[in-house]
Amino acid sequence: TVPNKPTVTLQPSWTQIYSGETVTVRCEIQGGEGAQWTYEWRAAKLNTPPTSNEHRIIRATESDSGGYSCRGRRDYFFSEWSDIITLTVSYKPKAKLRADNTAVPVGGSVTLTCSVNPSSSSGWKYYWYRDEKSSEALTTQDAVFHSNGQISVSQEGLYRCRGGRGNPVYYTEDSQSVRIGKTVTASNRPVVTLYPNWSEIYRGETITVRCEIHGGDTEWDYEWETNSRIKAPNQNEYRIRSASSSNSGNYRCKGRMKSSQHKTTEWSDSVTLTVSDNKPRPVLTVSPSWLSPGASVTLNCEVEHPSAGWSFYWYKAVPDLSEKSSSYELLPDGSGTAQDSYIIHGQTHTAGYVCRAGRGDPEYHTDHSQPKFVWSAGQFEEF
């Protein structure tokens, strides 16, 4: 045995090929240049193994799959057998076409991706075609070509692709066709509304952001765009339960016709929602603060954003001398009044009062106000 160990190589160097491709299996002996070698082959389909250093497989079939090894012979001396290289021949592949959208947005483009499975196969170039009868591949005048089998197109039409490799070029089967249409803007423009209609809410409150498209009986799919840290789902309304500052931001929406995905509305105007992490505390004022005989007392409870749906609760502060604190006793008809004022008749003793506000469903309550007192020459009212 001579010391030279041969190596089997493939040209092109693809161990995965497809029926109909051409490949050359070659036996190379390093350091044996110039010597008169004859070759022996062990191979799956070589019923009459060649004695030359290469075996050209033209229009490969699945039966050409298997391991190939070789050794050299010179006079009465033999080299070792080479390591086995395995060739796999599969059915002719079909290219796969994927589109990131099926409608070209106004002023924009759609990205198409062509691929050949398995992804481990290599050496592919991709050829693109528009409309079924066209056999002429697209050029840079028709699309923007990217790496990794991607192009960007802005023209509508029926697109397909295929892969090719080798010399002469071996082509895959064409992909399925994908129709790319133009986005058509519908005349209906959506409106974003808040329910309840409060543009500023507080941590823990509940609010619904709604996309409304008026006119006709069209069924729509919805798309939201927001810069809040929590994204809205693609439905016509987004109910925010127990809101936090992460929900703060601008919200806008558009609709896409269910019956024609190429037809969309314009974007609505943006609506800003602000969620404050600070729980509000109302301010109570009393008038007069000193009693005169027969006078009534008016309490006023003021909350930030007073027109935003508040109801008011009115309490008398009852001192607890043992605890050095006060408890709150609801005043008659003092629960959930729509008015931010409350009138007390017939008060004769010094007394303290407190208010708070609530709104929404489920109801959200502010903190209690600081107590305010109405003074008389006598003592605190006794209970």
Place of tokens 């995905």: 261
CA angle, 101 as apex, 249 and 260 as ends, to 5°?
Answer: 90
Residue 383 has pLDDT above 50, yes or no: no
pLDDT band at 382 (very low <50, low <70, confident <90, very high): very low
Segment 160-165 shows an average pLDDT of 93
Residue 212 exposure: Cα atoms within 13 Å on the Cβ side: 10
**pLDDT of the residue at 48:** 58
**pLDDT of the residue at 184:** 65
Segment 182-200 shows an average pLDDT of 82
Residue 270 has pLDDT above 70, yes or no: yes
> CA 11 to CA 9: how far, in whole Å?
7
Residue 50 has pLDDT above 80, yes or no: no
Compute how many other C-beta atoms are within 10 angstroms of the C-beta atom of residue 370.
13
Best CA proximity match to 210, nearest among 230, 196, 189, 228: 196
> CA 278 to CA 331: how far, in whole Å?
27
Q: What is the pTM of this model?
A: 0.50
C-alpha dist (Å) from residue 264 to 103, 125, 191, 209, 220: 10, 36, 14, 20, 9
Compute how many other C-beta atoms are within 10 angstroms of the C-beta atom of residue 76.
5
Residue 341 has pLDDT above 90, yes or no: yes
Structural domains for the chain:
6-90 (2.60.40.10), 96-182 (2.60.40.10), 191-276 (2.60.40.10), 283-376 (2.60.40.10)
Identity of the amino acid at 179: R
Query: pLDDT digits over 274-299, tens only?
Result: 999 888 899 999 998 888 777 889 99
Contact 174, 145 (CB under 8 A): no
**pLDDT of the residue at 151:** 94
**pLDDT of the residue at 170:** 92
Segment 302-327 shows an average pLDDT of 78
